[in-house]
A and B are shown apart, each in its own frame.
Chain A
């Protein structure tokens, strides 16, 4: 890829807060026109990274080039070209949807008409409603609407669907897909693997301030080499030998948490073998599940932990 087609370059980024290392030598390349996801658990350094890219925090060291420019020399020009949605902005409750978007629109030199933005985020009916009366999903769409006020080339979305109900989440996903289809570059952070799988062309898995894997969701999942994942929950109180399934037929990798997570080559061969292993060890189980591997399994395989604490 030639450098010109990079919307965002991040090199050896580092940021500490006191003794806590939030970002620890992070590298990223986001190509123009792609939807790129930073996937990781809470506290992985996603928000710090995205806010440094947005020019809202300063890095201790490292280099960030946004749309070919740097923050310290081209801040004003950059702000005109970026759309930013922050994780926890609360807009003025007494102000209406239309007034809020008009305000943001007035900050930008160029951009779509206010009614076009309202139409895109499907808030037409709430045009004259005060922000305080909106639902969580509507507020989040308003937040994205404000980020679109300058018709941005590069859009930053920080955990856009956190805390939303499934229907609101799907509405927001549709909106992001529309934006992606119109050629905008999108960088989003999330700790929902299904969100990253559905929306992102490429995903960087972030843990403890570092990128530990970066590829398309499909390639990341394929890298596991497993066809299926089997989860086994044992009856409580039983003494569980470590390496219980180490030699079980068809099990590629096993992890021991509150449940056993087994990556298997073929479920129809592995499941009977798992049951035989349990039988031989004199253990009983309460639940057995199988699913096709997801980014969650990739994360578990890389870190030994789950994206969300269970």
Chain B
């Protein structure tokens, strides 16, 4: 009832902090992350699924079999089919006109043979596709031999299949670096923009909280998660596919640490001004998309023209991918890693400095 005298607050304020604010902030970071099942999935499970999928799709097969279509409407289809049937490296499929066109377009056959007569054949294939060029050589070889061509030079083959030269060996370090980028930028950027949008940042600023504690808590969390992410992905590669670790573990640790820090700082930079998730999202994609494509995660960055190479080599993801891959697969030493580490450190200092300078706290 309102005519009851309100009871004064009786408590005994203690001097001294209960716990360290940096510890509390960091604990909150980890709790927020671990209580978000989606975040856990994208950070830990997704890269494994991707690596597993790519490892299976591109596993080394004993001998490559080329899938070749025979156009049934061509006059000499059966003759040519009989001539090629003896070759075990070719898998032949009979196709009518529309089926042949479709199969070429979606890549279920690498090449289609159109046999006008026993002496004249036409190859239909896409020159830009590697397996199509290979299929053309294999079909032509088989066809010419069956018609009596003899080798002018005697050749012997000695086959090697070395760990470290397979696609999974190439792509796994790339995925590892890409994961450091994704979780660093999204993880930090989104949390900060979200806190700003919810006026939580402003609420923190209204307390004696040290601002660098707040930012540092994100980096501490990133480093903690980085250790887990990197361990999970690298051991998956090692145990499931035998992806080697030829360089020193210390150098590998430093490369991952720098990677986690540089992408954390870039996340901070993206989040330093943005007021909405949408704005931050757009900026993230603008920064990350070119790197996904150009930095050599899935295929060598060397495929791009020489004119843009200086730009590609200066990208932070390129430097992280190259250093991680160099250490794991080539066993590069410190001296060889210096240029990559220098690039990453420059990005780290620049982005962190600019982010701190322009950070919007309110």
Contacts and interface: CB of A to CB of B under 8 A. Distances in A.
B61 interface: no
Interface in A55-73: 55-57
Interface residues of B, number: 40
Interface string A220-232: 0000000000000
Contacts of A177: 6
B15 A110 contact: yes
Interface in A100-148: 102-114, 116-117, 120, 130, 146
B36 interface: yes
Interface string A143-184: 000100111000000000000000000000010011111111
B199 interface: yes
A309 interface: no
A146 B5 CA distance: 25
A1 B349 CA distance: 54
Interface string B5-21: 11111111111111111
A106 B5 contact: no
B14 A181 contact: no
A181 B25 CA distance: 33
B31 interface: yes
B15 A109 contact: yes
Contacts, number: 121
A113 B12 CA distance: 8
A308 interface: no
Interface string A171-206: 000100111111110000000000000100000000
A84 B202 CA distance: 10
B11 A120 contact: yes
Nearest to A143: B203
B208 A112 contact: no
Contact of A150 (B7, B10, B12, B208): B208
A107 B202 contact: no
B96 interface: no
Given A103-B28, A111-B13, A56 B202 contact: yes
A95 B9 contact: no
Contacts of A105: 17-18
Given A91-B200, A150-B207, A103 B25 contact: yes
B32 interface: yes
A196 to B, nearest CB: 15
B14 A113 contact: yes
A107 B362 contact: no
A107 B6 contact: no
B31 A89 contact: no
Q: Which of B8, B11, B205, B209 has the most CB of A within 10 A?
A: B11
Given A107-B209, A113-B12, 14 more contacts: A56-B205, A79-B208, A82-B206, A89-B198, A89-B200, A92-B28, A102-B24, A111-B14, A113-B11, A120-B9, A120-B11, A146-B203, A149-B207, A151-B13
Interface of A: 54-57, 76, 79-80, 82, 84, 86, 88-92, 94-95, 99, 102-114, 116-117, 120, 130, 146, 149-151, 174, 177-184, 198
